[in-house]
Amino acid sequence: MTAAEDRVAETDRGRVEGAARGEVISFRGIPYAASPVGDLRFAPPRPHPGWTGTREAVHAGVAVPQAASRLERVMGRRVPDWREDGSLTVNVHTPSAAFGNGASRPVLVWWHGGGFTSGSGGWDWYDGSGLAALGDIVVVTANYRVGPLGYLYLPEIGAANLGGRDQAAVLRWVRDNIASFGGDPRVVTVGGQSAGAYSALSLALDPRTSELVTGLLLQSGPFGLTPQDPQDAAEHAEAYLRLLGVPDGADVAKALRALPVERLLSAYGRLAGHLSVPGDAAPPMYPVLGGPGVPRGFQRAIEDGALEGKAVLIGTTRDEATAFTAFDPRIQNLTSAGVLDLLTARFGEQAHDIHRRYAVRLPGATPAQLFTAVQTDRLFRDDSLRIADHHAAGGDATYVYRFDRRPAGDEFALGATHCAELPFLFNTFDAYPDSPMLGTTGDADRALGESFATAVAAFVTTGAATDWPPYAPATAARVRHFG
């Protein structure tokens, strides 16, 4: 074979040629579904028509249409690179030694976060080539529709959890094609961070995709946020249509498909502003309970045994909620009475007891710090541990971590905030210039990243983490700390 042929894989839609770098061959921007344009906007993903010849797959595809990230001031700003046409793509990073010789490596399908509002599997933040090389695994990332294009709830026109349906299409693509890239379709860990972890859990619990998932990597999942109530989702959809000026009685699907995508995003931004609640991570549109991919609530599905037999690696960062509160003046200017008001809105009669317990636990904390600690536990840590407790109690392999590394200097008092572990997992430190959550890095940070990534890769490969005892219910000593 020629050097180029050594980098060509056959998919069910056509041949693709990747690019070799070091010990990895990367295939980027491979279509897994038809472009969601025209009549396919606000429609479930359809098969890609395919192509003739060999398609170059050496550059990341465009992102799906989206607004700016809510966490720009934490992670750093990205230059917009989105477009509707050609946006539903996957990226595959495979060890060179696994390619073209019949080898089968374990697979990690990893979903980006972004609050179901922003993000792209093709961004250099999530470049899986380093993890693939370190762990001798195949790493897959992908785009899925976000914001109104992915999560507007109008079931009467077929628009319901479309982003999740995109993700399900990716898993089917992996099942049908990953062997051509040196991956084993029988050993697929599905993971992600934040909204990506929420998505991974949804896919593992849904009977239609559960059999495609053998293990779970759940990073900073906002599992304290229950799937959206259908009535709330319908009300948000009605408000959104009003902001767009879609008249009552109109052909809604036709009207939405005729609008420029910029108007769709602008109206979504205004809706988010109207619904914004201090410290709350919930976007206006996200997976709806009872819709495709979310047939029942997470807790009920887990209690019914939907995760039985799947290994789970789950964790959080130490200071998750600072990402959502550090730059919000509504939080930073809170008084103790204001904290009680916010807690009462969320917890009712339990608010005073919660406030008292956190005040005892955090002597000297400002009202903003106390509220942030509550949000870290309520949105992220508590329910992650509940999932781990239930899974481990059933005898299934369960591993729990906490990422504790804080940036040097920590100018904005972020601590180990939401998303802080991402450059360590993917060894993509250089992709985060001037990122407050990362700060300056050195040899110790790269060693920490190698340790974290090695543990994750070992879990993907064996269903067990290296030098790390399985979690036991309510046993803090079995939580591994990084940093």
Q: Quick: pLDDT tens for 300-341.
A: 999 999 999 999 999 999 999 999 999 999 999 999 999 999
Which pLDDT score is estimated for 430?
97
Q: Beta strand pairing status for 8-11 and 14-17? A: antiparallel
d(CA 366, CA 103): 56
State yes or no: is 320 an active-site residue: yes
Q: How much is the average pLDDT of 285-301?
A: 94
Sheet holding 138-142, edge to edge: 19-21, 24-31, 89-95, 138-142, 105-111, 183-193, 215-219, 311-317, 398-403, 479-482
Q: Which domains does the chain have, with CATH numbers?
A: 5-482 (3.40.50.1820)
Share of the chain above pLDDT 70, in %: 99
Which pLDDT score is estimated for 2?
45
Beta bridge partners of 345: none
d(CA 88, CA 36): 8
413-469 pLDDT, tens per residue?
Answer: 999 999 999 999 999 999 999 899 999 999 999 999 999 999 999 999 999 988 889
41-80 pLDDT, tens per residue?
Answer: 999 999 999 999 999 999 999 999 999 899 999 999 888 8
Name which of 454, 479, 467, 473 is nearest 137 in CA terms: 454
Token pair for residue 35?
Answer: 């472009």
Say which amino acid occupies 448.
L
d(CA 231, CA 287): 13
Name which of 319, 330, 298, 313 is nearest 377 in CA terms: 319
Backbone angles phi, psi at 425, to 5 degrees: -65, -45
Residues in the chain: 483
SS3 content of the chain, % helix, strand, coil (to 5): 40, 15, 40
Which pLDDT score is estimated for 1?
43
Quick check: 268 and 295 in contact, CB under 8 A? Answer: no
Token pair for residue 58?
Answer: 């050496």
Name which of 14, 217, 32 is nearest 107 in CA terms: 217
Residues ≥6 apart with Cβ < 8 Å to 467: none
Which of 194, 199, 202, 220 is flagged as catalytic?
194
State yes or no: is 274 an active-site residue: no
d(CA 117, CA 276): 14
Alpha helix (H) residue ranges in 152-260: 162-177, 195-205, 230-244, 252-258
* Terminal Cα distance for the chain, rounded: 46
Task: Give the relative orientation of helices 351-361 and 367-375 as an angle to the nearest 10 degrees.
Answer: 110
Which of 112, 220, 418, 421 is flagged as catalytic?
418
State yes or no: is 352 an active-site residue: no
Token pair for residue 299?
Answer: 């807790």
d(CA 120, CA 244): 26
- pLDDT band (50, 70, 90) for residue 277: confident
Q: How much is the average pLDDT of 382-395?
A: 95
Which pLDDT score is estimated for 281?
81
349-383 pLDDT, tens per residue?
Answer: 999 999 999 999 999 999 999 999 999 999 999 99
Token pair for residue 292?
Answer: 């495709």
Which of 320, 384, 421, 435 is flagged as catalytic?
320
Say which amino acid occupies 41.
R
Q: How much is the average pLDDT of 152-175?
A: 98
Burial environment of residue 243 by CB neighbours within 10 A (0 to 12, 13 to 18, 19 or more): middle
d(CA 334, CA 342): 10
100-159 pLDDT, tens per residue?
Answer: 888 899 999 999 999 999 999 999 999 999 999 999 999 999 999 999 999 999 999 999
The pTM (predicted TM-score) of the whole model is 0.97
- pLDDT band (50, 70, 90) for residue 5: low
Mean pLDDT (the chain, rounded): 96
d(CA 241, CA 264): 10
- pLDDT band (50, 70, 90) for residue 84: very high
Which pLDDT score is estimated for 6?
83
